[in-house]
Amino acid sequence: MTLGTTVTTIAVAFFVSAIVGVIIIPLLRRLKFGQSIREEGPQAHMKKAGTPTMGGLIFLISITISTLALSYINDSLTTHTIVLLIVLLGFGFIGFLDDFIIIIAKRNLGLTSLQKLIGQIVIAIVAFFLLKLGPFETTVTIPFTTIGLDLGVFYVAFLIFWLVGFSNAVNLTDGLDGLVGGTSTIAFATFGVFALVYEQNDIALFAFVVAGAMLGFLLFNIKPAKVFMGDTGSLALGGVLAMMSVLIKQELLLLVIGIVFVVETLSVIIQVISFKLTGKRVFKMSPIHHHFELSGWSEWKVVVVFWGVALLAALVPVFLEVM
């Protein structure tokens, strides 16, 4: 991919996402698909109740249309592209069911954790066997080294853990207007750069399509949000981001590029363990973005700072790779 092709890819996905958003958001309002705010969350968030959710449909539709169209034009529709779309739409469908049940039930409880886990595992296994139809390495490489560990038949277990883990990590991060929209844009654009470096143009195209679609979504999701992505969007983004790290064989690099998602998840784990063992909380509230809110930071400040952290975490590996 040339620089011109990259810019065009991002621009096409951006405009498709913007157009789809203009169509979808009024529809979600008419259907009264409003967000239920959990009572134990920050009280300042209660005013967001009723804001349309399931906005992930905006970028899921945009990514699908843009990927298929641009892949056809560039003759780059590969098995990898198909696997990425399956993971994106599969995890998105699980999130859609979760959001839909919440909306119908009028309470902040959708699919059970077990139901979501089973669905995520099935999709991960399907993706694994599709990849095994062609040449596929089962080695996990330590970033910026030639050291790798061949997991062999155990790679499928790693793949399940990786996809499910990051799907839920992004889901946990999705609690503030524009937070996941911005951090995921940075993460996908970064993996797009790595895909270009490794001459995997099909994956690069998909990564930049997602980045463009997320920028289009941010038009509606930045504070004050006109729509929330819901589990429809966050579960899909986390799953396909993890899948992308697998396809370019830089799985562990996601721990750096996705540092915000990792820290958000760790904050929840630490909070739960601490409360169960000592009866005390480490943070005022978890995930950690709520801790900063309750410490006096404005929602916008938390989002911008987290964007900054995500950008710095992305620039470091890109700089080291280029150097």
What span, in angstroms and rounded, lies between the C-alpha atoms of 228 and 222? 9
The average confidence (pLDDT) of the chain is 92
Nearest to 183 by CA among 74, 44, 287: 287
Provide the β-strand partners of residue 52.
34
Q: Maximum Cα–Cα distance for the chain, whole Å?
A: 59
Query: Can the peptide bond before residue 287 be classed as cis, meaning omega within 30 degrees of 0?
Result: yes
DSSP letter string, 156-196: HHHHHHHHHHHHHHHHHH--STTHHHHHHHHHHHHHHHHHH
* Mean predicted confidence (pLDDT) in 300-314: 97
- The answer to whether residues 177 and 303 touch, using CB atoms and an 8 Å cutoff, is yes
Q: Exposure pattern of 30-64 as b/e (b: 16+ CB <10 Å)?
A: eeebbbbbeeeebeebeebeebbbbbbbbbbbbbb
Helix (H, G, I), strand (E, B) or coil at 233: helix
**pLDDT tens string 105-139:** 766 677 888 999 999 999 999 999 999 888 888 99
Tokens 């992004």 locate to 170
Dist. CA 216–CA 208, nearest whole Å:
12
Min mean pLDDT across 40-44, 59-63, 204-208, 240-244 is at 40-44
H or E segment at 322? helix 299-322
Residues 6 or more apart whose Cβ sits within 8 Å of residue 28: 52, 53, 54, 55, 227
Q: What is the pLDDT of residues 153-166, one digit of tens each?
A: 999 999 999 999 99
Residues forming a β-bridge with 301:
none
Over residues 54-71, the mean pLDDT reads: 96
Which residues lie below 8 Å from residue 29, measured CB to CB, with a gap of 6+?
Answer: 52
| 295 secondary structure, DSSP code | T
Token digits for 184?
């995921």
The band of 86, judged by pLDDT with boundaries at 50, 70 and 90, is very high
Tokens of 67: 């990927």
Contacts of 239 (CB under 8 A, 6+ apart): 87, 88, 90, 91, 120, 123, 163, 164, 166, 167
Whether residue 171 is annotated as binding a ligand: the answer is: yes
19-42 pLDDT, tens digit per residue, is: 999 999 999 999 888 766 555 556
Tens-digit pLDDT profile for residues 236-278: 999 999 999 999 999 999 999 999 999 999 999 999 999 999 9
Q: Is the pLDDT of residue 227 over 60?
A: yes
Name the DSSP letter for residue 283: S
